[in-house]
Amino acid sequence: DAGITQSPRHKVTETGTPVTLRCHQTENHRYMYWYRQDPGHGLRLIHYSYGVKDTDKGEVSDGYSVSRSKTEDFLLTLESATSSQTSVYFCAISGSGNNEKLFFGSGTQLSVL
Amino acid sequence: AQSVSQHNHHVILSEAASLELGCNYSYGGTVNLFWYVQYPGQHLQLLLKYFSGDPLVKGIKGFEAEFIKSKFSFNLRKPSVQWSDTAEYFCAVNAAGGANNLFFGTGTRLTVIP
């Protein structure tokens, strides 16, 4: 398995609170991604990064922000969590070629009450 | 933008039955196509991918997929499923030479009955 660590693995929080999820990689891969997985929707891209301080929005970016200050770390922040953001969040990494496969982390189960 | 359709939401098969899961994409240009599998309680992992060459690609665990450009399809097949193939299967696409991010289908849950 690729060296990807997501933290925390599980989190329960209340509506309106800020939440930060962390993805750490040891593979020195250029690209990092945040997806959310919901029943009936598959995986949807939230944000991705193509280098340090280089990020772009995905298809469901509203309510989320990201930061990448180091190659190995990609943070996802929910500024003010809502119940609709209850989901499983997966971090993924890949090399530079766009036909390269993604390596996924183990996921973070987030519940917003 | 690209999109992916997986019309089978849940497929139930007996062991040794043959499997075919449908995947259709919408995009007018050249694409890269992927199938990922998610076993219960685990993260996604790559089964196989197509980006050029022979449209019939073979992956891990006896899976294969055929890219039919005229039908915008990339169906996944396995001649004889096992109980251990019980999992959720996701088709994904991106534009060749474009951004790296993948667009995923909604997934097909496969249950194999011993």
Average pLDDT over residues B26-42: 91
Please check whether residue B98 touches A, CB under 8 A: yes
Give chain A positions within 8 Å (CB) of B105: 42
Whether residue A113 is predicted with pLDDT greater than 70 in this model: the reply is: yes
Note whether A2 and A32 are within 8 A (CB): no
Tens digits of residue pLDDT in B83-105: 999 999 999 998 887 777 789 99
Residues B13 and B1 sit within 8 Å (Cβ to Cβ): no
- Report d(CA A10, CA A48) in Å as an integer: 22
Chain B residues near residue A102 by CB distance under 8 angstroms: 36, 44, 46, 102
pLDDT, residue B97, reads 76
CA dist A56 and A62 (Å) reads 12
CA-based max dimension of chain B = 43
Q: Which residue of A has its CA nearest to B42?
A: A106
According to the model, what pLDDT value does residue A1 have? 60
Closest to A23 measured CA to CA, from A62, A49, A58: A49
Type of residue found at B47:
L
Q: Which of A95, A87, A82 is nearest to A33 (CA)?
A: A95
With CA atoms as reference, the chain B residue closest to A33 would be: B101
pLDDT digits (tens, 9 = 90+) for B41-52: 888 999 999 998
Query: pLDDT tens across A8-52, in order?
Result: 999 999 999 999 999 999 999 999 999 999 988 889 999 999 999
Cβ–Cβ pairs < 8 A, chains A and B: 58
Statement: residue A97 has pLDDT above 80: no
Nearest to B98 among A45, A98, A100 (CB): A98
What pairs with residue A21 in β-bridges?
Answer: A76
Separation CA B75–CA B91 (nearest Å): 9
B11 shares contact with chain A (CB less than 8 Å): no
Please give the pLDDT value at position B29. Answer: 85
DSSP, residue by residue, A74-106: EEEEESS--GGG-EEEEEEEE-SSTTSPPEE--
Residue B107 one-letter amino acid: G
Q: Which of B102, B103, B108, B109 to mutate to test the interface with A (most CBs of A within 10 A)?
A: B102
Tell whether the model's pLDDT for residue B54 goes beyond 80. Answer: yes
Side chain identity at residue B98, one-letter code: G
